[in-house]
Amino acid sequence: MLSQKTIDIVKSTAPILETEGTKITTCFYKMMFEAHPELLNIFNHVNQKQGRQQTALANTVYAAAKYIDQLEVIVPVVTQISHKHRGLGIKPEHYPIVGEFLLKAIKEVLGDAATDEIINAWAEAYGVIAQAFIDVEKGMYDAAANQENGWVDFKDFTVVKKEQESNVITSFYLQPKDGSGVTTYEPGQYLTIRVKIPGEEYTLNRQYSLSCAPGHDYYRISVKKEKDFDPNGKVSNYLHDHVNEGDTVEVSAPSGIFTLNMEETAPIALISGGVGLTPMMSMLETLADTGSKREIYFIHAARNEEFHAFKDDVEEITARLENGHAYYGYEKPLNANGDHHFEGYLSKSFLENIINEETITYICGPVPFLKNAVRILTELGVKDENIRYEFFGPAMDLKAEEKETVKA
Ligand SMILES: Cc1cc2nc3c(=O)[nH]c(=O)nc-3n(C[C@H](O)[C@H](O)[C@H](O)COP(=O)(O)OP(=O)(O)OC[C@H]3O[C@@H](n4cnc5c(N)ncnc54)[C@H](O)[C@@H]3O)c2cc1C
Ligand code: HEM
């Protein structure tokens, strides 16, 4: 239990984190990696370079400080992060390291303003926040290990099939190397894959959504080759170019909170851009496998016909549904007279014919695609809690951003 004095100090200094948060977390990571380079085996170096991880951490520490006396408010955020932590194998012994360098970074950035009293209050508060994460994660580790075919941390999986889905997306079918079965999972969840690429100093971890329904004797992930960039994406290119049938990758058990709620009966729209269709494939197939009678709309935007993955599969699955409908469109179609349903970006005029205020929407795609979709759905009156989205990177609160924009 924190004393009232500690709570008051933390809450009164929390606004500093809102303004200086990213400066503090940038300094934090720099100092922590200098002292503990082994942690570079866990962290995504690109998220660091792009600053997304620093911002995500700063926002969370700020929220935790603001609600230090009612941490239940941030439980959904903690749960989402803890899923990622569990997939990556973050353990209780890591927390004191983060605590030590977070406090050092606060001191470094705030200088004399960070009095001993403030630092001590923050140290105490960090202990409470860290314990909340550790407790949630313990439950997740136990659940992952104790389920049927469950395991702890990473385990070797064999690529039993590799299949091209579009000119940039390839699926990998994975089975445990030890001959055991795969665990079940919730449609929308992701695997964490760990690879050691020859010539790379550290192991690299990446998340990939499961792209088929649970219930098969394999996991399937579908990976977009991040090419034509400088530099090209490390893991996706390695998987495409060097990981073949018979090869091994390390996998940790499925995690994630972007999942299909099977209890609901309202119309549902699965909206995706590019490779963001992977969790939607799992959700769509699950709805079909369970004989759902809901109105189901699968809406997909691709760059053009050559980038369009799973076209035939989606048609086959929607045909199995009593009320399934599939729509797709291309930013720049190769065939202007083709059978696509929209051209250019996904627009309000297209969606308003499909979506109403009761529709439950799941969205996944690149950040600009997500922002556009969230804005349109908000304008169409879809309830906040029915706009559910997944990021293929550190999470952000787009609905809050949307509200800020409307206010401004
Ligand atoms: C929950 C979740 C689910 C996901 N599901 C999928 C999925 O189903 N399918 C899928 O394909 N992906 C998915 N992803 C994304 C995936 O985890 C990887 O991020 C993606 O494959 C890119 O990894 P990479 O190693 O190839 O690229 P990285 O090496 O991580 O590079 C990513 C991008 O950053 C750029 N970059 C690299 N270095 C720098 C630098 N120094 N400065 C600026 N930019 C740089 C690269 O050019 C590249 O475009 C998911 C991510 C999350 C979080
Ligand atoms: C209370 C302490 C902590 C907080 C508030 C916190 C917060 C966060 C946040 C906000 C994210 C981003 C989640 C997302 O991707 O959406 C994240 C991811 C992550 N965290 Fe933590 N974290 C804490 C402790 C730790 C510890 C102790 C470690 C291990 C040393 C750790 C390692 C990671 C890693 C590796 C990621 C993935 C980031 C990436 O993609 O590189 N975290 N954490």
pLDDT for position 1: 81
Ligand 2: residue of 53, 102, 124 to mutate (most ligand atoms within 8 A of CB) is 53
Give the span between the Cα atoms of 207 and 252, in whole angstroms.
10
Q: Say which residues have a Cβ less than 8 Å from residue 242's Cβ, sequence separation at least 6.
A: none
User: What residue ranges in 61-181 does DSSP mark as E strands?
Assistant: 154-164, 169-176
Q: Does 327 participate in catalysis according to the annotation?
A: no
Q: What count of other Cβ atoms lies within 10 Å of the Cβ of residue 163?
A: 12
In the chain, how long is the greatest CA-to-CA distance? 70
The closest-lying atom of ligand 2 relative to the alpha carbon of residue 391 is: 16
pTM of the model: 0.96
What is the residue with the minimal CA distance to atom 24 of ligand 1?
233
Dihedral sign computed on CA atoms, order 9, 15, 18, 23: negative
Span 157-174, average pLDDT = 98
- Tell me the two tokens of residue 16: 């500093």
Confidence of residue 301 (pLDDT cuts 50, 70, 90): very high
Q: What is the pLDDT of residues 39-71, one digit of tens each?
A: 999 999 888 888 888 888 888 988 999 999 998
Average pLDDT, the chain: 94
The closest-lying atom of ligand 2 relative to the alpha carbon of residue 39 is: 30
Give the span between the Cα atoms of 288 and 282, in whole angstroms.
10
Q: What is the pLDDT of residues 339-375, one digit of tens each?
A: 899 999 999 999 999 999 999 999 999 999 999 999 9
Span 64-81, average pLDDT = 91
Q: Any bridge partners for residue 176, and if so which?
A: 157
Q: Does 95 participate in catalysis according to the annotation?
A: yes
The closest-lying atom of ligand 2 relative to the alpha carbon of residue 94 is: 27
Q: What is the pLDDT of residues 105-124, one digit of tens each?
A: 999 998 998 999 999 999 99
Ligand nearest to the CA of 29: 2
Q: What is the pLDDT of residues 2-16, one digit of tens each?
A: 999 999 999 999 888
Confidence of residue 406 (pLDDT cuts 50, 70, 90): very low
